[in-house]
Structure 1
Amino acid sequence: MRERRARRPLLSNATPPAGPAPAEPSDAALIALIRDGDAGAYGPLYERHLAAARGLARHLVGGDAAEDAVQETFTKILDVLRRGGGPRAGFRPYLLTSVRNTVYDRYRGDKRVQATDRTELLDQGVPFDDPALAGLERSLIVRAFRSLPERWQAVLWHTEIEGAKAAEVAPLLGLTANGVAALAYRAREGLRQAYLQMHLAEPDAPLVRAEGVPAGTEECRPALDKLGAYVRGGLAKRDARAVEAHLDECARCAAIHAEIADVNGTLREGVGPFVLGAAGVLYLAAAGHGGGAAVGAKLLAWFRHLPKRQQQVLSGTTGAAAVAAAAAAMLLVSGTSPVQRPAPRPQPNPPAAVAPAKPDPKPRAPRAAPAPPPAAAPKPVAKPVAKAAPEPPAPSPSASASTPAPPPDLTARIGAVGTLLRGRDGIVAMSVANAGKAPSKDVVADVTLPPDVAYAGGATGREAARFTPAREPGDGWSCRPSGPRTVRCTHAPLPARATASAYLGVQVGAAAPYGTPPTVTLRGGRGLRTATADAGVAADGMRARFAADGHVRTVQTGNALLGCDPEEDGCRAAMARKGDRRDDDFFDMRPVDRDADPATSSSSAARLDVPAGGRVLWAGLYWSGVAGDAARRDGASAKLRAPGGSYTTVRAAEVRRGRLPDFTVYQAFADVTALVRAGGGGTWWGADVPTVAGAAHYAGWALVAVVEDPAGPYRQAMVLDDARALGPDGPRRLEVSLNGLVAGAGTARIGLVAWEGDAGLAGDRLAVGGAALTPQSGDQLNDNILDSSAAGAIDANLTFGIDVDYFAVALGRRPAVTLSTGQDAFLTGVVTVTAPMRS
């Protein structure tokens, strides 16, 4: 057995001395300000990364074309950030990739120049497709790198690929030098684990450097499972000897061990060319950081061992041999010294960015550096016109460099949205606020769930190396399981007075104990902060289907699909909401078919109101009726038609049933977010839900959505649902807790969808805080809310068996909605809430 020693990873190549936190905002904080409309924040980003962008561009193209490509790239990225896209923390690799693509796109364009004044014919929006880079993208190291949180990617790029010192990277990430070293350590460990998981999931995958080694087998799995701990020196002697014995016999696992032991070199050789192309040889060699020449030499060796055709494609031009030769000459002449950069030619200062329409109420102090590049135009212009940089202001005599910045003050809230019910999916909401006067550090929130409650989602991809949640937590959060009951959520630094909310989809097991609440422990402010929810798993209530906050609101509509025969005595009066026969008990109910489409047997229309400029965040289709044979099958379906479109058959994702005095009824649900997002507001049609015609029977459909409301205030919205039968022969009351709602002062809007209420039977109520609320449609009686009225229904004043109502109320600090009945029997369906959110 040959001798082998597991090497412990170092915090960094050279750990700089500790120092105070950088005064300048991090890249992530600046990007967040730009997304919030502060164009002035682009200036520091531009200044920090301009030299790197120019360095790469000059190795890809010469003369003024390099500067034009750089300016065009910065302009495009500003436009992307303003529209909410682009990076959140890793600005440098995103910028360099964009520079390379801009140069390649310009090169392609120059090959087919034709004179025309119709520029729309030329810009077809086809992205640059690089086959060699596509192959790199499929390599395990690149996929492992891209599976990491963006902040980890950023620190690995700067410290391991570009070879920058921790003190140089600290201002970019908003950390101290020691903080950068610690973050880099965690990122390297995360990369090792992701890389190992991909090899475990794909044993035949090629290595970055090793060639000719045999493919792994299932016999390799025990050794690969322990390889990460072996590299860190964390195995017991017996396990370490077993791993070493396997490595002596398996060439492939030995090669994998070599790669993860030197994960930095593997990272440079895989990810560096993927971002930089062949120019990475020169870019990294000329970067001027420690080890730059060695990095360039390794990349050059990698490049020269590629097939000739791949070298040509990777370079983006036919000059691959010239690039490699030039790099070799520079490296051979320089020995171990970094390659000297050519003397830079004078560059004009970039023109000032367009200021936001609304002035910043807290203006920043002017900077001495050049102003940022211009805001994105529909088409990038050629060389920008130079403008003089503004004179820096004289320093304030009262300013003191020794005055410490005020610390951030992070607080957290956590709670189940609605009610966590055994055997059902649910949502746990978490909100973190920075009440301080300074940006926070990276926010880390460890959520502990109740026993037998799990974060919903799973490993995805062929390698099963990335956890994808069942629903995205939103608002810039990244969350993944960190233990059987724990979830670690991370967020970029929060600016002062900012708030970020996360909504975690969870699965509640059948044995989950009642009462144990979820908790959260917060890092990133003044030490550890802990918050506990008001409630845990409960025996009764309504579970959450969707929740969000922002400029949002809930909207809902619906209509009936069974009605009375207009020729039958009393039917016309009932449909006009007159007379004393307004219940389906008095009529032989038959299908309503109003769409003149011979392919449907029942149909009705309703209007869905979506605010102007609002995007649909979520939408659900609910339908209900008497549970005949078709409805008893889990594959129950309905039809839905968008405004101006055709019918789409919608399959039920969930069917729940209840027993009313004379028959069994059901409620079905399907997520139709994509359909409603595409169709928007307007007249929607529902058709052909399973039911049974006959006396006292009913059928109907309802469409519920959470939409953006750009003109509205900041609010929280939630959708709760469950099919519960209430009436004289069973439970008469259901309390719906609005847990997880951080309601502020002002009027909230409660929405209700319920089935088989009769207008002639009084005593059914919806109450908040003991006060019965009055519906905003129908007869508007607070002691007979289920009076067969549906908001938005078209061609129907009375909708037999379906109620879609709104109520207005001011909510307290622990709000709950109570549904109750006296004489009537009905099936609960959906409760929605739109409430001003407490700051």
Structure 2
Amino acid sequence: MQSPHPPRPPHPPRPGTLPGESDRDLLALLGGPHARRHHAVALLLTRHWRATRDYAVVCLAAAADASAQLVATAAFHRVLGGPAVGALRPQLLVAVRETVRSWAADEGACVVLPELRKPTGGRGLRAAMSATPEKRQLAARAFQALPSASQCLLWHTEVEAEPINIPAGLLGVDTATAAAALEQARQQFRAGCVRAHRELAPTGECRFHNGFLDRPVRRGEPPLPDARRHLAACRHCRHAAEQLGRLDGGLDVLLAETVLGWGARRYLDSRPARRAARETSSGSSGERPAAGAPGGRHHTVPGGRIRATTGASRRRTALAVGVGLTSLALLATALATEGWSGEGSGTRATPPATLLVPAP
């Protein structure tokens, strides 16, 4: 009889030391033998679960981590059950957004997860006119046209603010190869934005100014007088100039707003590497560190004061962790035992009520 408990996720390899199993390799294993499927699911969860859950918190505008765990579980189920298209992390985050949007239209789901009714959460996301803002259409077209490896390198170094060895490990290559490919990815993305401006240009005058938009940006110069007059009258070209201007500074915001749209800035703020940099900066300005290791009984508050964590807060945390572990167990077991064939791709995400475990 098969055990209902999935294997404990292994520690992720130290990316960049030696080429290992890439995300693409692991996705290919999902249709293989049972033991290999368990290994692949566990490692993919280890690599991408935290970011997926963090964006679920953003999309729900929820303090309750348990709700975010359910959305993240559904997003994994949705992505790993379909064909691989592009880098895995952006796919999972987009699946979170679309899962919340879909559930927010379901009254039964809103009863289970009241966060879906928040104007800053599911209700607002559902009412949004478009997932990708108009001012990011060129960057969206350029990013989608990139090879998955280039998407992975740009996303993890710029948006996640991770060192090059992390995406190198996700791609199964060494750091030197990844660093060279990253520079190529930057060039590909810039060329793609310029090409998208030309292809989507509404008028011949826009196409005429195509080359005059990027060259001054590269040189750090203002646009030519004719180009400035055209920019004042043409929204399409103004958006293009703004996007091109972010390629040499602000690429993190550009990519996050392009791929995610909803909650992009909040997702950027949630990234561990960015938080660590902020904490280091605030620590140098005199804020006292929290007492004890993570999970201890004290934490810092503005002004450097240390406040004890209440028993009620600890119980809520324990409950959220318990629900999260249950969600992970259900997901890992389902993915490892079904042996995905891709037949379920494109179907609507399972409503959260079917993922809940009845209370004893």
TM-score tier by shorter-chain length is 0.5 to 0.7
Letter in 1 for 2:28: A
User: CA separation in 2, counterparts of 1:263 and 1:292?
Assistant: 24
Among residues 93, 101, 106, which one is paired with 1:96 in the alignment?
A: 93
Structure 2 residue aligned with 1:169: 167
CA contact (8 A) 1:162 1:292 kept: no
Structure 2 residue aligned with 1:76: 78
User: CA separation in 2, counterparts of 1:283 and 1:28?
Assistant: 25
Q: Does 1:280 align with 2:257?
A: no
Pairing 1:477-496 to 2, within 5 Å after superposition? none
Classify 1:275/1:218 alpha carbon distance in 2 versus 1 (closer, same or farther; 3 Å).
closer
Deviation, structure 1 residue 199: 2.0
User: CA separation in 1, counterparts of 2:87 and 2:246?
Assistant: 23
CA contact (8 A) 1:144 1:195 kept: yes
CA contact (8 A) 1:148 1:190 kept: yes
Deviation, structure 1 residue 49: 0.9
Q: Does 1:47 align with 2:19?
A: no
User: CA separation in 2, counterparts of 1:109 and 1:269?
Assistant: 31
CA contact (8 A) 1:90 1:153 kept: yes
CA contact (8 A) 2:74 2:349 kept: no
Structure 2 residue aligned with 1:220: 209
User: What SS does the aligned partner of 1:181 have?
Assistant: helix
Post-superposition CA distance 1:7-36 (Å, at most 9, x none): xxxxxxxxxxx963244x111111122244
Normalising by structure 1, what TM-score? 0.28
Q: Does 1:353 align with 2:333?
A: yes
Structure 1 residue aligned with 2:191: 193
User: CA separation in 2, counterparts of 1:88 and 1:201?
Assistant: 23
User: CA separation in 1, counterparts of 2:337 and 2:67?
Assistant: 30
User: CA separation in 1, counterparts of 2:107 and 2:149?
Assistant: 37
Classify 1:378/1:272 alpha carbon distance in 2 versus 1 (closer, same or farther; 3 Å).
closer
Pairing 1:401-550 to 2, within 5 Å after superposition? none
Structure 2 residue aligned with 1:133: 131
CA contact (8 A) 1:285 1:293 kept: no
Letter in 1 for 2:71: A
Pairing 1:360-371 to 2, within 5 Å after superposition? none
Classify 1:264/1:111 alpha carbon distance in 2 versus 1 (closer, same or farther; 3 Å).
farther
CA contact (8 A) 2:150 2:182 kept: yes
CA contact (8 A) 1:147 1:194 kept: yes
Letter in 2 for 1:345: T
CA contact (8 A) 2:87 2:151 kept: yes
Pairing 1:268-667 to 2, within 5 Å after superposition? 268-290=252-274, 345-346=317-318, 347-348=321-322, 349=325, 350-351=328-329, 352-353=332-333, 355=336, 381-383=354-356
Among residues 107, 114, 137, which one is paired with 1:110 in the alignment?
A: 107
User: CA separation in 2, counterparts of 1:255 and 1:104?
Assistant: 27
Classify 1:99/1:255 alpha carbon distance in 2 versus 1 (closer, same or farther; 3 Å).
closer
Deviation, structure 1 residue 103: 2.1
User: CA separation in 2, counterparts of 1:216 and 1:280?
Assistant: 33
Post-superposition CA distance 1:743-783 (Å, at most 9, x none): xxxxxxxxxxxxxxxxxxxxxxxxxxxxxxxxxxxxxxxxx
Letter in 1 for 2:317: R
User: CA separation in 2, counterparts of 1:262 and 1:274?
Assistant: 12
CA contact (8 A) 2:109 2:351 kept: no
User: CA separation in 2, counterparts of 1:378 and 1:105?
Assistant: 10
Post-superposition CA distance 1:496-531 (Å, at most 9, x none): xxxxxxxxxxxxxxxxxxxxxxxxxxxxxxxxxxxx
CA contact (8 A) 1:260 1:266 kept: no
Deviation, structure 1 residue 266: 5.7
User: What SS does the aligned partner of 1:97 have?
Assistant: helix
Among residues 244, 247, 251, which one is paired with 2:224 in the alignment?
A: 247
Post-superposition CA distance 1:666-691 (Å, at most 9, x none): xxxxxxxxxxxxxxxxxxxxxxxxxx
Letter in 2 for 1:75: H
Classify 1:218/1:155 alpha carbon distance in 2 versus 1 (closer, same or farther; 3 Å).
closer
Deviation, structure 1 residue 44: 0.5
Letter in 1 for 2:90: P
Classify 1:204/1:27 alpha carbon distance in 2 versus 1 (closer, same or farther; 3 Å).
same
Classify 1:196/1:266 alpha carbon distance in 2 versus 1 (closer, same or farther; 3 Å).
farther
Structure 1 residue aligned with 2:247: 263
Deviation, structure 1 residue 93: 0.8
Letter in 2 for 1:227: R
CA contact (8 A) 1:227 1:257 kept: no
Classify 1:70/1:255 alpha carbon distance in 2 versus 1 (closer, same or farther; 3 Å).
closer
Classify 1:261/1:182 alpha carbon distance in 2 versus 1 (closer, same or farther; 3 Å).
farther
Letter in 2 for 1:28: R
Among residues 146, 155, 158, which one is paired with 1:157 in the alignment?
A: 155
Letter in 1 for 2:247: V
User: CA separation in 2, counterparts of 1:227 and 1:292?
Assistant: 36
User: CA separation in 2, counterparts of 1:159 and 1:279?
Assistant: 19
Among residues 12, 24, 36, which one is paired with 1:28 in the alignment?
A: 24
CA contact (8 A) 1:91 1:154 kept: yes
CA contact (8 A) 2:56 2:71 kept: yes
| RCO higher in structure (CA 8 A, sep ≥6) | 2
User: What SS does the aligned partner of 2:209 have?
Assistant: helix
Post-superposition CA distance 1:167-193 (Å, at most 9, x none): 232221212233322222111100111
CA contact (8 A) 2:157 2:167 kept: yes
Letter in 1 for 2:98: N
Normalising by structure 2, what TM-score? 0.60
User: What SS does the aligned partner of 1:131 have?
Assistant: coil
User: What SS does the aligned partner of 2:263 have?
Assistant: helix
Post-superposition CA distance 1:30-49 (Å, at most 9, x none): 11222446522111111111
CA contact (8 A) 1:31 1:88 kept: no
Letter in 1 for 2:268: L
Structure 2 residue aligned with 1:493: none
Tell me the percent identity: 25
Classify 1:149/1:35 alpha carbon distance in 2 versus 1 (closer, same or farther; 3 Å).
farther
CA contact (8 A) 1:27 1:89 kept: no
Classify 1:264/1:70 alpha carbon distance in 2 versus 1 (closer, same or farther; 3 Å).
farther
Q: How many matched pairs? A: 269
More helix by share: 2
CA contact (8 A) 2:136 2:243 kept: no
CA contact (8 A) 1:286 1:292 kept: no
Classify 1:59/1:175 alpha carbon distance in 2 versus 1 (closer, same or farther; 3 Å).
same
User: CA separation in 2, counterparts of 1:70 and 1:218?
Assistant: 42
Letter in 2 for 1:247: L
Deviation, structure 1 residue 129: 7.8
Deviation, structure 1 residue 91: 0.9
User: What SS does the aligned partner of 1:133 have?
Assistant: coil
Deviation, structure 1 residue 287: 0.6
More strand by share: 1
User: What SS does the aligned partner of 2:271 have?
Assistant: coil
Post-superposition CA distance 1:582-613 (Å, at most 9, x none): xxxxxxxxxxxxxxxxxxxxxxxxxxxxxxxx
Q: Radius of gyration: which is bigger? A: 1
Deviation, structure 1 residue 153: 1.5
User: What are structure 1's unaligned runs of at least 5 residues?
Assistant: 1-17, 115-127, 206-214, 234-242, 295-332, 335-341, 359-375, 387-839
User: CA separation in 2, counterparts of 1:172 and 1:99?
Assistant: 20
CA contact (8 A) 1:141 1:267 kept: no
User: CA separation in 2, counterparts of 1:102 and 1:27?
Assistant: 22
Q: Does 1:66 align with 2:81?
A: no
